[in-house]
Structure 1
Amino acid sequence: MPAQNSATGAATGTAPLPPMHCLRHAVPGPPRLAALRTGTPVWLVSRHADVRQVLTDPRLNRSALYATDAPPITLAPNILDDPQSMLNIDGTDHQRLRRTVQRAFTPRAIARWRPWVASVVESLIDELIDAGSPADIVGAYTRPLPVSVISRLMGLDNLDSKRIGHWSDHALSATAYSAEEIATAMGEFYAFGTQVIVERRAAPGDDLVSSLITAAADGSMTEEQLVTLVIGLVIAGHETTMTSLGNALVYLLQEGREAWSRLAADEASASAATEQLLRGVPLGDTTDHMPGLLRRAVEEVEIGGVLIPAGSVVAADTNAANQDPGVFTSDLLTELFSPLAAPSLTFGAGPHHCLGAWLARMELELALHRLARRLPSLRLDEPVEGIDWRRGLLTRSPNALGVTW
């Protein structure tokens, strides 16, 4: 990995990175042995059916990755490696924690937010147009939209987007920061979450944090789990949408330019395109980390005709699975507005399926439809080879993206 100062700085002495929609993925096949950056052997699973099995089979779980006999899986632990977080707890304990959150993220609950999210989208487009062309669409649109939405949902109206971005980058670091830098940033983030809980206990409101505090009052989660849940939701609530929207615009304003007018036509077309873009444009690449969502086998299990021994670490490569030629065509140009042939695995599957999936879908659909409708001549103001990418993280998207109209 070339030298870097931070996730927001360009790597030194490297060729330009390709846009995310241009990445080549492993040809899906039977599970095969590879190795994590720590040297730990890992079974890499890439076919759609096999990946879905890994994510839904109770014989493969997250908590076993942090058992006392578990091999090392990361060089510098990030927020995903907290053994007490909801992500890394399985079974009834996980279900109990998940129930405290999921009511806010059901399709019915998200539908109630739609008019307000649409108003945020329109306000941001108004500000973009008023500021004039050219503009940075990331700073003006793809970053502030999801931050505004999660801030409102959690009652964090004074959320500092730059500070949250700093903590999020460290929380999702693969190689961008040292273990010491990550620990310092996570300490600050944890203190932020602790203070939010203290303030909300003193003055509860009609927001997700207050709901979590009420649910935790029965002893269903520890204080540490409550804080971790709050800061985890802040990250999850904006990171996926910001990343997906930025990468989708790189595609749509370049190779997918002919689809722009159809996106503007109606929300149904934007909804179909959103599903295909989430499937076809990955959130991260494999430059700095092993692809896939990790699990560990708690007993011997057969996956795709291969017997995986108990105790093995398994990586479910959702990017490859989403491009599996036995299930999908990878041609976004012709399939952008077609129904998915099978469920996308971008948000995972099974017990740990992303809680915010419906919220992210709704934000992306509205953001693309309204932007295409209001700015039909929107186009990139720079070659894709010159894009400044967020690097060294578990996700990759533009730091900035110049556009004009």
Structure 2
Amino acid sequence: MTVEYSGASTEGPLIPLHCLRQAEPGPPRLTALPTGTPVWLVTRHTDVRQVLTDPRLDRATLYAPDAPPISTTPNILDDPDGLLNIDGPEHQRLRRTVQRAFTPRAIARWRPWVASVIERLIDDLEAAGSPVDVVAGLTRSLPVAVISRLMDLGDLALERLGRWSDHALSATAYPADEVRQAMGEFYAFSEALIAERRKNPGDDLVSSLLQAADETDGVTEKQLTALVCGLVVAGHETTMTSFGNALVQLLSEAPQAWARIGADPQSATAATEQILRAVPLGDSKVFPGLLRRAVAELEIGGVTIPAGSVVAADTGAANHDPEVYPAGSRLDHFAPLGAPSLTFGAGPHHCLGAWLARMELELGLHRLANRLPGLRLTDPVEAIHWREGLLTRSPASLSVAW
């Protein structure tokens, strides 16, 4: 059976993501999406991994003519031309145009530069004086600086990028017409950027994508446009969200862990993996899981799933499955994982930017804790102002002092 999720109520303040009660892992059960569409909710680690890797479950058919509605407002996840919604050989062909830039070896080459960006941002925090908003000064600024550099986005204003990303990941935050307008602007920007890089290629991710696409048959302009938009959003959203939520948890509940993260880089690496496992990126009532649709009848966890069914892989519940993670909901920052978490998915659609997000979070936590070991929240967690109505949730601002 499952328990109700907490933290998504409209009554009273929202609670931090690390305090949410996750669904109790069990066999797949039939529930419903906010649209009313029936959905099989899958919560056990083994079952969730099957959903994400079994070819009998795909993304593309979620947008077939006979598919039931899965979202109440448009967002970037619903673009049929997006990498996320293409399966099989076509997906692998498109994925190869970008994956070379996101291998662990490639990410390692960026590490010194990312570290220098973090040091500069912490310098600015210290210069601003205590107290200061660490979201504006670091957790949002870091990933935006990194993806802007990798894609050579130049002077693209932070507010503009943030507005597009928020609308691209909107669940209930904005009216549908407003989302469509913002997404139209975003896609127009992507088209113009692609055209400019074709004329003046450089040593950046967009130019590399175009070169790889030219060497690969069948990659369409719509797919390239969606890919560039997806990279802009994914390149900063996960890091911003996980970094902000990590600081809420560490500074409110784990001062000893904070000190150890600052003193030892290896401890920061271990804590990063545990935080990514244990602290979800959003509320499951807003984002119930990674959706797939059954193209054939199959069995998951002893339950027969009919062909055509929509399935939701609840990675948050899977990441707390006591059969895999004995600590359950308790967060031991420095314990070995035992099994990879499913935060970044699994199988063909495993997040390409996972290693980059890990590196930014690990370096950011270590250097901030090292430089400011006495960092503390200035307000109680109940007073945190959250980014709400999106597929992810993190602090909109977070006042800290030292």
CA distance in 2, matches of 1:51, 1:288: 19
Q: Is the 8 A contact 1:276 1:332 kept in 2?
A: no
Q: Which moved more, 1:251-260 or 1:48-57?
A: 251-260
* Residue in 2 that maps onto 1:73: 70
Distance 2:329 2:220 in 1: 47
Instruction: Report deviation, 1:288.
Output: 2.9
In structure 2, distance between residues paired with 1:26 and 1:13: 20
C-alpha contact (below 8 Å) 2:293/2:308 kept by paired residues = yes
Mapped pair 1:25 → 2:25: no
Distance 1:244 1:43 in 2: 27
Q: Residue in 2 aligned with 1:247? A: 245
Q: Hey, what does 1:180 align to over in structure 2?
A: 177
**In 1, Cα distance between equivalents of 2:49 and 2:283:** 20
Query: Which of 349, 362, 366 is the equivalent residue of 1:365?
Result: 362
Gaps of 5+ in 2: 1-7
Counterpart AA for 1:81: D
- Residue 234 of structure 2 corresponds to 236
Q: How far 1:208 moved relative to its partner?
A: 0.7
Matched residue type, 2:42: V
Counterpart residue identity of residue 182, structure 2: A
- 2:303 counterpart residue number: 306
Letter in 1 for 2:269: S
Please report how far the alpha carbon of residue 13 of structure 1 lies from its aligned counterpart in structure 2 after TM superposition.
Answer: 7.3
Deviates more, 1:350-359 or 1:36-45: 36-45
Hey, what's the Cα distance between the residues in 1 that align with 2:128 and 2:73?
Answer: 41
Choose 335-344 or 109-118, whichever is displaced more: 335-344
Q: C-alpha distance in 1, partners of 2:398/2:285?
A: 21
Match of residue 49, structure 2, among 46, 52, 62: 52
Deviation at 1:257, TM superposition (A): 1.7
Counterpart amino acid of residue 247 in structure 1: N
Give 2:283's aligned amino acid: D
Is the Cα contact below 8 Å between 1:56 and 1:351 reproduced in 2?
A: yes
Candidates 97, 108, 113, aligned match of 1:116: 113
Question: How far, CA to CA, are the matches of 2:243 and 2:9 in structure 1?
Answer: 27
After superposition, give the CA deviation of every residue in 1:151-175 in whole Å (9 maximum; x if it has no partner).
1111113221111111111100111
Match of 1:297 among 278, 286, 294: 294
**Residue 395, structure 1, aligned to residue 402, structure 2:** no
Matches within 5 A, 1:72-221: 72-218=69-215, 219-221=217-219
**Structure 2 contact 320–329 (Cα < 8 Å) conserved:** no
SS at match of 2:397: coil
- Amino acid corresponding to residue 132 of structure 1 in structure 2: G
Deviates more, 1:228-237 or 1:157-166: 157-166
Partner secondary structure for residue 253 of structure 2: coil
Structural RMSD (CA): 1.3
Query: Are the counterparts in 2 of residues 76 and 179 from structure 1 also a CA contact under 8 Å?
Result: yes
* Rounded Cα–Cα distance in structure 1 between residues aligned with 2:181 and 2:281: 26
Partner residue of 1:344 out of 341, 345, 349: 341
Query: What's the counterpart of residue 4 of structure 2?
Result: none
CA distance in 2, matches of 1:296, 1:263: 41
Query: 2: CA distance between counterparts of 1:99 and 1:270?
Result: 31
Q: Which amino acid aligns with 1:265?
A: A
- From 362, 376, 381, the equivalent of 2:378 is 381
Greater shift in the superposed pair: 127-136 or 192-201: 192-201
- Structure 1 Cα separation of the partners of residues 152 and 330 of structure 2: 38
Q: CA deviation at 1:217?
A: 2.4
The answer for the alignment partner of 2:5 in structure 1 is none
Q: Which amino acid aligns with 2:121?
A: L
Instruction: Tell me the CA shift for residue 330 of structure 1.
Output: 2.9
92-101 or 320-329, which moves further after superposition? Answer: 320-329
Match for 1:225 among 223, 226, 231?
223
Task: State the SS of the aligned residue for 2:239.
Answer: helix
Amino acid at match of 2:250: L
In 2: Cα distance, 1:89 partner to 1:231 partner: 16
| Structure 1 residues 388 and 157, CA gap change in structure 2 (3 angstroms) | same
Query: What is residue 271 of structure 1 aligned with on the other side?
Result: 269
CA offset digits 1:334-388 (Å, max 9, x no partner): x211110211000000000000000000000000000000001000011100000
Query: Contact between 1:102 and 1:355, CA under 8 Å: does it hold in 2?
Result: yes
Q: Which moved more, 1:149-158 or 1:54-63?
A: 149-158
Identify if the C-alpha distance between structure 1 residues 331 and 312 changes in structure 2 by more than 3 Å, giving closer, same or farther.
Answer: closer
- The amino acid that maps onto 1:239 is E
Deviates more, 1:291-300 or 1:194-203: 194-203
TM-score, normalization by structure 2: 0.96
Cα drift, residue 331 of structure 1:
4.8
- In structure 1, distance between residues paired with 2:336 and 2:275: 12
Output the TM-score relative to the length of structure 1: 0.95
On the 8 A contact 2:104/2:355 being kept in 1, the answer is: yes
- In structure 2, give the amino acid aligned to 1:278: L
Q: Residue 302 of structure 1 aligns to a residue in which SS?
A: strand
Q: Letter of the 1:251 partner, please give it.
A: Q
- The CA distance in 2 between the partners of 1:176 and 1:239, in whole Å, is 16
Tell me which residue corresponds to 1:3: none
Q: 1:43 aligned to 34, 40, 44, which one? A: 40
